[in-house]
Structures are given as C-alpha cells and as structure tokens.
C-alpha cells in the first residue's frame, strides 16, 4: 500500500487571493460571500420589480378604460338601434301620409255637404286611416316639427321662398308648404317653409328741440338776449 497523503499535499484554493476576490475557476461552493455585492444585486432586482409593477398597473388601467369605453359605445349603439332602427322605414312612409292629407284636401267642406253616402264613407275611411298612421308614428317616437310662427331653424326648416311683411320681424316662418318630421333628436325630413323677409324700416321721427325756457324770462316783456338770438337764427334758416 502507498503512503497516506499528508497536509502538505493539499493546497488552499483561496491562497494568493485578496480579501473579497473570487476565483473565476472555482465552483459555487467555493465562492466567497460578498455582502456589498449581494445588497447591490437585491436592490437592482427590487428596482426592476417595481418598474415591472408600474408597467403592469398601467396596462391594467388601460385595459379597464378600454372595456368601459367599449361598454358605453355598445350601449349607445343599442340605444340608437332601438330609437332609430325604423328611421328609413318611417322616412318612406311619410310620402304615404302626405298622399292621405292631399286626398282629404281635395274634398272641401262644400263638396262634403253635397256628397252622397258612398263619397262620405270614402272620406271617413281616409280620415280614419290618416289618424291611425299619425298615432302609430307618434307611438314609435316620430313627431311633427313645429314650424309656423317659429323662428327659422336651418337644422329643421328648409326655406323655399320669402314673405315681405313689415309687421313681422325677419326670420319668422310665415307659411308651411310641406310638414317636417323628426325621430328622437334626428330630422327625418325638414319642413319646407316660407320665411318673413321684413319690410322697409319705419321713417325716423323728427327731432324735438331740447332747449329749456325759463318761465320768468318767458313771462317778461323783454326776451332774454340768448332767447332772442336763438329765434333769430331759426328765422334766418327758415
């Protein structure tokens, strides 16, 4: 058997290294503990985690804001679809309503008084149909636009002619040629109207002199010099 190894046969791996230095060729178990280096690594890790936490918080807030905007937009689209879903159909039906009104206008009261039973039944049927259509339109949120006597509104009225009238301020709806309708806050069809133009301005009233006369001077026999000079100037101009 060989000789047993002695202590001199083993070498210290840290021999020749200064305090705090680490041998790059040594294993993890042979690394020297450095408190300052470890504290620096921990601080760097904490800073990186804090920055990541801030970034994640911003992403969560942005995601929540996007979801809230999406919810509001979806709710608005649902409300619009519920309120204005029949807008195109209602706009097409306005023509039929106008034709019913024209049909009734073709029968003045004199003609109705002289009409026979069949004609009277026809007129009553047309009136019932028109009333029913007006009721259904109002039930679905379709209402006529107020025009006559109102101030001209370019968003709801369409001017087709002007009416000169000195007794009415300019910009007032004087006559309605075709009625307008709206659904909710949207205009289905603007009202075709005639708007007051306004006449010429009224002639200016003559100016009245504001000169005051002293009662004492007016009652005296001899007029004041200034008063006499004023009348002399007026007489000369006349």
Structural domains in the chain (count): 3
Q: Are residues 154 and 192 in the same domain?
A: yes
Taking only the tens place, the pLDDT of each residue in 170-205 is 889 998 988 899 988 889 899 999 999 865 444 455
Angle at 203 between CA 198 and CA 204, to 5 degrees: 125
CA distances from 53 to 39, 43, 44, 45, 113 (A): 21, 15, 14, 12, 88
Residue 182 lies in a domain: yes
CATH for 149: 2.30.22.10
Q: Which two tokens stand for residue 195?
A: 């708007």
Residue 219 pLDDT greater than 70, yes or no: no
- 75 and 50 part of one domain: yes
- Quote the pLDDT of residue 115: 82
Helical (H) or strand (E) element with 162: strand 157-163
**What domain range is 41 assigned to?**
34-84
At which of 140, 158, 179 does a domain end? 140
Non-local CB neighbours of 48 within 8 Å, separated by 6+ positions: none
pLDDT at residue 69, rounded to an integer? 92
Q: Specify the DSSP class assigned to residue 151.
A: B
Residue 6 lies in a domain: no
- pLDDT in the model for residue 5: 57
In a domain, 222, yes or no: no
Residue 215: HSE in the Cβ half-sphere, 13 Å Cα cutoff: 0
Is 108 inside a domain boundary?
A: yes
Q: What is the DSSP letter of 175?
A: E
Q: Considering the domain boundaries, does residue 80 fall inside one?
A: yes
Task: Tell me if 147 is assigned to some domain.
Answer: yes
| 134 shares its domain with 148 | no
In this structure, the answer to whether residues 129 and 151 fall within a common structural domain is no
- 71 and 115, same domain (yes or no): no
Question: How many angstroms separate the CA atoms of 169 and 195, rounded?
Answer: 10
- The answer to the question of residue 1 being in a domain is no
Asked if the structure places residue 157 within a domain, the reply is: yes
Model confidence, pTM? 0.51
């Amino acid at each position: 058997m060989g000789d047993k190894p002695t202590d001199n046969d083993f070498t210290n791996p840290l021999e020749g290294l200064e305090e705090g230095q680490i041998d790059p060729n040594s294993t993890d178990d042979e690394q020297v503990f450095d408190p300052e280096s470890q504290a620096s690594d921990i601080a760097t890790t904490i800073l990186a985690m804090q920055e990541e936490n801030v970034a994640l918080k911003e992403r969560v807030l942005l995601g929540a804001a996007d979801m809230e905007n999406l919810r509001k937009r979806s709710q608005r689209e649902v409300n619009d679809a519920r309120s204005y879903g029949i807008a195109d159909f209602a706009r097409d039906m306005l023509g039929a309503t106008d034709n019913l009104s024209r049909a009734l206008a073709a029968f003045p009261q004199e003609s109705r008084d002289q009409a026979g039973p069949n004609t009277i039944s026809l007129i009553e049927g047309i009136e019932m149909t028109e009333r029913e259509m007006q009721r259904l339109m109002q039930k679905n949120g379709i209402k006529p636009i107020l025009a006559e006597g109102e101030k001209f509104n370019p968003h709801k009225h369409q001017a087709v002619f002007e009416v000169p009238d000195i007794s009415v301020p300019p910009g007032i709806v004087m006559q309605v040629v075709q009625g307008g309708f709206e659904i909710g806050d949207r205009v289905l069809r603007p009202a075709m109207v005639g708007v007051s133009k306004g006449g010429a301005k009224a002639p200016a009233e003559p100016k009245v002199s504001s000169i005051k006369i002293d009662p004492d001077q007016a009652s005296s026999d001899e007029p004041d010099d200034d008063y006499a000079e004023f009348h002399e100037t007026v007489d000369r101009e006349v």
